[in-house]
Amino acid sequence: MAFETLNFDVQDGVARITLNRPETANALNLAMGQNLVQALSACAADRSVRAVILTGSGKAFCAGGDLRGFSTHENDLPSHLRDVTTWLHVALSYMARLDAPVIAAVNGAAAGAGLSLACASDIAIATASARFTMAYTRAGLSPDGSSTFFLPRLIGLRRALDLSLTNRVLSAQEALDWGLISRVAPDDEFVAQVDALAHELAQGATRALGAAKRLLWTGWNESLETQMARESETIARIASTRDAREGIAAFVEKRAPRFQGE
Instruction: Round to whole Å and give the CA distance between 43 and 16.
Output: 10
Angle at 70 between CA 69 and CA 72, to 5 degrees: 75
Active site residues: 89, 144
Q: Which helix (H) or strand (E) holds 61?
A: strand 60-62
Indicate the DSSP class of residue 114: H
pTM of the model: 0.95
Q: Are 42 and 75 in contact (CB under 8 A)?
A: no
**Domains observed in the chain:** 6-202 (3.90.226.10), 206-252 (1.10.12)
pLDDT of residue 238: 97
Instruction: Round to whole Å and give the CA distance between 106 and 185.
Output: 10
Q: How many helices (H) and strands (E) does the chain have?
A: 11, 10
pLDDT of residue 75: 86
Q: Are 94 and 141 in contact (CB under 8 A)?
A: no
Q: Which helix (H) or strand (E) holds 21?
A: none
pLDDT of residue 221: 87
pLDDT of residue 156: 97
Where the chain has pLDDT below 50, the residues are none
What is the tens place of the pLDDT at every residue in 27-86?
999 999 999 999 999 999 999 999 999 999 999 999 999 999 999 998 899 999 999 999
Which residues pair with residue 186 across a beta bridge? Answer: none
Instruction: Round to whole Å and give the CA distance between 165 and 95.
Output: 27
